[in-house]
Amino acid sequence: MTNHSASGDSWDDLKDAIVGLGERSVRKSYYPELRTKIRDLDEQRIFFRSTLNSIPDGVVVMDADGVIKQANPALCTMFGYTPEELVGQPQTILYERDGEKFRHADFPTDWSRRFLRKDGAAFLGETMENEIYDHEGKLLGTLELIRDRTDQLFEIRRQRQLEEQLRQSQKMAAIGTLAGGIAHDFNNLLAAILGYAELALLKLPPGVALQREIRQILKAGGKASELVNQILAFSRKETTKRILLQPGVLLKEVIKLLRGTIPSTVTIQEQIAVTDRVILANPTQLHQVVMNLCTNAFHAVEDNGGEIALAMEIVRKAIPASQEEREWIKISVIDNGCGIDPANIDRIFEPYFTTKPSGKGTGMGLAVVHGIVENHEGRIFVESVKGEGTTINVFFPVVTGIETPQIQPESQSLVGGSESILVVDDEQMVADYLKSFLEQLGYTITVCNDGNAALLAFERNPQGFDVVITDQTMPGKTGFEIARTMLAVRPELPIILCSGYSSALSPERVTKAGIREFMMKPVSLHDLAPVIRSVLQEEAS
């Protein structure tokens, strides 16, 4: 027997281990192993669940029978269910129309489907499905990925509307150009008709029976003139110049226009208060505001007939967002038509928003109205009850401290003079009636039919004319060009530029060039006479 002292320790350790007393001599139990496996499974489950929960698209998992086993939070939010409410339900609970799939032209995706929320609302979603198999190839169920496409659909529709709007505005611009051209020619003819009618009236001795017929010509001609002005207002580029005006006059004009175009199933009421209050506004834009509002009101009552009321009154109140109490001119457009859906009421001022069928509206109307009113420091409010009607109230601040312009009495007698006037117009008829009319008032008239002839006459004797009245649109030189040439020689020369249709000339540009007056054709003789006097007086002073 030998002493194994050198390896004694390891020998002892081995001996301990063999009889179960070693450091690692543990009674067998499967539990730690199971615990590790359970922990691994838990971690895996948490990982997979967290992964599923973090998917931003809706994910729903069905068993082989189509019963919902799992739904991620994105899906629950999308559909308004809690996970507990969904688990155990058939997958068809999520579908409208039995879950029929279809390709949607607007989406670059394979399939779309109409889905149904818990609250009954339906929405369009993109859908992708896949079958789930276990490791032995047995079908476990299906997985569906759902993406809510409501926003994209809205975006696509908006895009479509934008394109439609662009087409529409291009069409309108073309029509405007066309209408402007026609109106210009028509205006010249109208000027002649009116001019000669006025001339005829002046020549007739008072009390002659023919006067009544001529007055009817003037009246009809006046209406025609208004109509042409409407077309011109439409075709003309917008100006931003604001003047002091009483909206009542403008409103009455709109009503007149409406009455001429709206079918008799729609009645129009007017309640225009008599007032001397004025606002600072661009008449064209104000016209557009009222016209747009009335057009909308008309569309609201169009199908079933009804009533549109246009009202104007002076109110004194504090309006939200300005707070300060002050005077306003309140213009109301009221209809008893279909009303606005409460869901849409916040959106009606958005550009391109429209509930009208294609062809009935551009969706721009109320947006423009809103923009104009805002620019005028005004306010606009909508009240609407679905099925009962809509009231739109527009407030414009009353301007105080500025003297109200005197309204000229209509039957003012015409003031004449003895000055020498150069009349330039390529339309012989217009030139002739101006010559006749002004000569009646005592003036000495020289007529030229184009710019070159006029300049020739002017150069021959620059001091020979006290006033120049010229048409703008002529073959060869324009009225504006003539005016500039003359003003270069005689800066103080009063020039009145008349134009029926001008897209190139702005009043600012005309004024800047030193031209005294700018008059829209057809020029009424009643208007022209005082203008001549006023430019001559200015020059004298």
Partner 1 sequence: MLTELNIRKFLAPEIIFGDGAIELLGRYVRNYGAGRVFIVTDQGLVQAGLLERAQTILAAAGVDLVVYDKVSPNPRDYEVMEAAELYHQSHCDIIIALGGGSPMDCAKGVSIVSANNNHILTFKGVDNVEIPGPPLICLPTTSGTSADVSQFAIINNTEERVKVAIISKTMVPDLALLDPGLTLTMNRDLTLCTGMDALVHAIEAYVSSASSQLTDLHALEAIRLIQRSLPKVLDNLNDVELREQMMLASLEAGLAFSNASLGAVHAMAHSLGGLLDLPHGECNTLLLDAVIKRNYEAVPERYDRIGEIFGVQMQGIAPERRAQAVAEAVLSFKRQLGFESGLDKRGVRLDDITLLAQKALADPCMVTNPRRFELADIEAIFKEAL
For residue 43, the minimal CB distance to partner 1 (Å) is 18
| Structural element, H or E, at residue 390 | strand 389-397
Q: Which is nearer to partner 1, 28 or 103 (CB)?
A: 28
CA 39 → CA 36, 50, 137, 343, distances in Å?
Answer: 5, 16, 27, 52
Supply the minimum distance, in Å, between the C-beta of residue 9 and partner 1: 8
CA distance 133 to 140: 5
Residues between 33 and 92 that touch partner 1 (CB under 8 A): 33
Of residues 4 and 316, the one with the C-beta less far from partner 1 = 4
Residues 446-485 that bind partner 1 (CB under 8 A): none
Min. distance of Cβ 45 from partner 1 in angstroms? 20
Residue 2 touching partner 1 (CB under 8 A): yes
Instruction: Name the token pair of 449.
Output: 């039919």
Contact flag: residue 185 with partner 1 (CB under 8 A): no
Q: With contact defined as beta carbons under 8 Å apart, do 286 and 241 qualify?
A: no
- To the nearest whole angstrom, how small is the minimum distance from the Cβ of residue 13 to partner 1? 7
CB of 17 or CB of 162, closer to partner 1: 17
Q: Could you tell me the smallest distance in angstroms from the CB atom of residue 10 to partner 1?
A: 10
Stretch of residues binding partner 1 (CB under 8 A), selected from 10-18, 114-122, 314-322, 406-414: 10-18
Closest CB to partner 1 among residues 24, 103: 24
Q: Which of these ranges, 6-14, 56-64, 94-102, 282-290, lies near partner 1 under the rule CB under 8 A? A: 6-14
Nearer to partner 1, 23 or 151 (CB): 23
Sheet holding 379-385, edge to edge: 266-272, 306-318, 325-335, 389-397, 379-385
Rg of the chain over Cα atoms, rounded to whole angstroms, equals 41
Whose Cβ is closer to partner 1: residue 34's or residue 204's? 34
CA angle in degrees (0–180, nearest 5) for 432-438-440: 105
Please select the residue that binds partner 1; options are 6, 32, 98, 103, rule is CB under 8 A. 32
6 interacts with partner 1 by CB under 8 A:
no
Query: Nearest approach, Cβ of 66 to partner 1 (angstroms)?
Result: 29
* SS3 (DSSP) at 8: helix
**What values do phi and psi take at 268, rounded to 5?**
-120, 125
d(CA 132, CA 444): 101
Closest approach of Cβ 33 to partner 1, in Å? 5
E strand or H helix at 68, and its extent?
A: strand 68-71
The residues in 93-112 that bind partner 1, with binding defined as CB under 8 A, are none
Q: Which is nearer to partner 1, 23 or 403 (CB)?
A: 23
State which of positions 12-31 bind partner 1 (CB under 8 A). Answer: 12-30
- Asked if residues 510 and 520 have their Cβ atoms less than 8 Å apart, the reply is no
Query: Is the separation of the CB atoms in 448 and 457 below 8 Å?
Result: yes
Q: In whole angstroms, how close is the CB of 138 to partner 1 at the nearest point?
A: 14
Rounded distance, CA 397 to CA 399, Å? Answer: 6
Residues 6+ apart with CB under 8 A from 508: 241
What character string, x for contact with partner 1 (CB under 8 A) and - otherwise, covers 127-166?
A: ----------------------------------------
- Give least dist CB 343 to partner 1, A: 58
Q: Which is nearer to partner 1, 35 or 160 (CB)?
A: 35
Question: Measured between alpha carbons, how far is residue 50 from residues 42, 47, 315, 337 in Å?
Answer: 12, 5, 62, 54
HSE-CB for 339 with a 13 A CA cutoff: 10
Q: Which residues bind partner 1 (CB under 8 A)?
A: 1-2, 4, 11-30, 32-33
